[in-house]
Amino acid sequence: MTEIPRHKSPDSLRGSAAIEAKPKLIGARVKRIEDPRLLTGKGRYVDDISPHGVLYVAFRRSEHSHALIKGIDTSVAKDMPGVFSVVTGEDVAKLIKPVVATSRMKNYQATAMYPLAVGKVRFVGEPVVAVLATSRYLAEDAAETLEIDYEPLPVVIDPEIAMLPGTPKLHDELSSNVLLERTFARGDVDQALAGAAICVSGKFKFGRKSPVAIENRSYLAEFDAARGQLLLSSSTQIPGVLRDCLVELLDIPETGCASLRPMLAAALAARDRFIQRKSWFACCPGISRSR
């Protein structure tokens, strides 16, 4: 066995080619600084924040993967005790701009995404109506009373079939179901395959995955009347990006929105992107103030 010699410090051998690899975290004992507050119950997550008069929201979600929304009866829910407001996609569309992801990729087709479905549902579980109430349980009970009239549309579950011309489109305004195309190429692929000793090909299907953290996705929206500022506390990895997106969607100055992130109980790379439901919570104070 030959021992690899350690490099000497560059400070002692200044001008020499020898460089010492100074360990910082790898292989070193690192003192944890977050344990005391967690072990003593002093951790502060979004769910631990409870301002006076807070309202809770429950969503009535789509049972269809592709259907038109022909009508929504909210009368029973609105008359239930503790219900503050019942909001549909048409209502939200008047308060906030849709989320539109941009891209410089070739032939990219952008899609508008509202916090609640507007006119049409495109997947099972898509939020259609939101109920604001004084407790989570009242909101969920009221959401169950909503009557939604759907007109089912053709469904395609095979992605390869969905790309074919003439297939029912999920977004009617687009030319097809293909949002973007991208080609990865490097070197002479045909020559490499022709000269290979063995060529293996196959068709592989991967199932859905869902990172599940200890803490649910949590959002709390408040309006600071004294500062004229929206405060959104959320379990996110990107509070700065979230603030920038909300400023644009709500059409307010940058100083009119603050995105806060209390403690985060794991993320597993699932909370580093903007999803449309976050914009819903941001417009909740507007619903409360306009009532």
Q: Where are the domains of the chain?
A: 51-171, 217-291
> Of 115, 112, 93, whose CA–CA distance to 221 is shortest?
115
Q: How far apart are CA 83 and CA 75, in angstroms?
A: 11
Which pLDDT value is given to residue 280?
A: 58
Class of domain 51-171: alpha beta
DSSP-assigned letter for residue 46: G
Which pLDDT value is given to residue 91?
A: 92
Q: Out of 1.10.1060.10, 3.40.630.30, 3.30.365.10, 3.40.50.1820, select the CATH number for domain 217-291.
A: 3.30.365.10
DSSP-assigned letter for residue 55: -
Low-confidence ranges of the chain (pLDDT < 50): 1-10, 12-13, 15-18, 290
Written as six digits, the tokens of 283 are 């417009």
Q: How far apart are CA 278 and CA 242, in angstroms?
A: 8
DSSP-assigned letter for residue 43: -
Burial category of 236 from C-beta neighbours within 10 Å (exposed 0-12, middle 13-18, buried 19 and up): buried
Which pLDDT value is given to residue 135?
A: 95
Q: Look-up: residue for tokens 């008069």?
A: 53
Q: How far apart are CA 25 and CA 30, in angstroms?
A: 7
Radius of gyration of the chain (CA): 26
DSSP-assigned letter for residue 215: S
DSSP H stretches of helix in 145-251: 159-162, 189-194, 239-250
Which pLDDT value is given to residue 48?
A: 87
